[in-house]
Amino acid sequence: MGVLEGSVALVTGAGGGIGAATVAALLAEGAEVIATDLRAPSAGTLTCAHDVTSEADWARIAGEIEARWGRLDCLVNNAAIATISAIEENSLADWRRQMTVNVDSLLLSLQATLPLLRASGKVRAGGASVVNLSSTGGLAGAAFMSAYCTSKGAVTLFTKSAAIEFGVLGYNIRVNAMHPGGIGTAMLDEIFDAYVRLGVATDKDVVIQGMNKSHPIGRLGKPEEIAAGIVHLCSTASSFMTGSSMVVDGGYTAQ
């Protein structure tokens, strides 16, 4: 029997690298998974098109979960974009888009799903569990990623604030942040391309070698290695964790 048997989970950005691996891991542990992305993903108990910046989309998704399950046990706020730019060249429009997708979406997410999470908190051992995808960038910062790192720093403190507030309110909802290091997905591939475009490195192999070196384990991570941490945060095995930052980064140190 899986550790999430009988649990109902929602994963956003579920068509991407870490999102798809998370859906697979949650399903393998017995959860029923609502998988959403800009285009409906291919795997999940229920798959939906869902723009996380849209209040109307959140209301629709929450309505579907309410009608079918009446509660939400695990919420994984994973969808995000990464803007790569020198500070001098970052347009205000791009900066705002970065914050809208990565930060505003968390407010919309919790506002839409709170009644469902509270319903879970009343009955679920270990409480309902929210996992917000931050990044090592949300703890340490990085060159040419000021917008992204600022957004992930906001995710980190929104997570802690929500954990404290839900504790004060007695909701029995835990809220934790996951901080991956460099993980081999489309997002990281685009970041590598951008580094070459910006002239930070001569070619992509140089970027990849540098990234491997900055992870003492000697390689980039795999989406499944992040999904395994998310499963732990979603399960009752992490029942004493809230407001926490789980760092899964191969020992990453900025070079």
Ligand X SMILES: NC(=O)c1ccc[n+]([C@@H]2O[C@H](COP(=O)([O-])OP(=O)(O)OC[C@H]3O[C@@H](n4cnc5c(N)ncnc54)[C@H](O)[C@@H]3O)[C@@H](O)[C@H]2O)c1
Catalytically annotated residues: 148
Among 101, 110, 114, 130, binds ligand X (CB under 6 A): 101
38 binds ligand X (CB under 6 A): yes
| Identity of the residue numbered 66 | E
CA angle in degrees (0–180, nearest 5) for 112-223-9: 30
Structure tokens at 172: 């029995």
Give the Cα separation of 47 and 37 in Å (integer).
8
Among 120, 146, 172, 185, binds ligand X (CB under 6 A): 185
Site for ligand X in 123-162 (CB under 6 A): 133, 135
Q: What are the helix and strand counts (H, E) for the chain?
A: 9, 7
Segment interacting with ligand X (CB under 6 A) among 76-84, 86-94, 158-166, 234-242: 76-84
Give the Cα separation of 18 and 78 in Å (integer).
8
Give the Cα separation of 235 and 36 in Å (integer).
21
250 binds ligand X (CB under 6 A): no
Q: Are 131 and 233 in contact (CB under 8 A)?
A: yes
Q: Which residue, 81 or 200, has its beta carbon nearer to ligand X?
A: 81
| Identity of the residue numbered 228 | A
Among 183, 211, 231, 247, binds ligand X (CB under 6 A): 183
Among 45, 51, 212, 243, binds ligand X (CB under 6 A): 51
CB of 96 to ligand X, least distance (A): 13
Please name which of 11, 160, 38 lies closest in space to residue 101, comparing C-alpha atoms: 38
Q: What are phi and psi of 210, to 5 degrees?
A: -60, -40
Among 7, 78, 85, 235, binds ligand X (CB under 6 A): 78
Closest-by-Cβ residue to ligand X is 16
15 binds ligand X (CB under 6 A): yes
Binding mask 211-230 for ligand X (x = CB under 6 A): --------------------
What is the crossing angle of helices 55-68 and 105-123, to 10°? 20
186 binds ligand X (CB under 6 A): yes
Cβ neighbours of residue 86 under 8 Å, at least 6 residues apart? 144, 198
CB of 152 to ligand X, least distance (A): 7
- 125 burial level (CB within 10 Å; 0-12, 13-18, 19+): exposed
Q: Which residue, 57 or 73, has its beta carbon nearer to ligand X?
A: 57
121 binds ligand X (CB under 6 A): no
CB of 162 to ligand X, least distance (A): 16
Q: Which residue, 16 or 229, has its beta carbon nearer to ligand X?
A: 16
Q: Which positions touch ligand X (CB under 6 A)?
A: 12-13, 15-19, 37-38, 50-53, 78-81, 101, 133, 135, 180, 182-183, 185-188
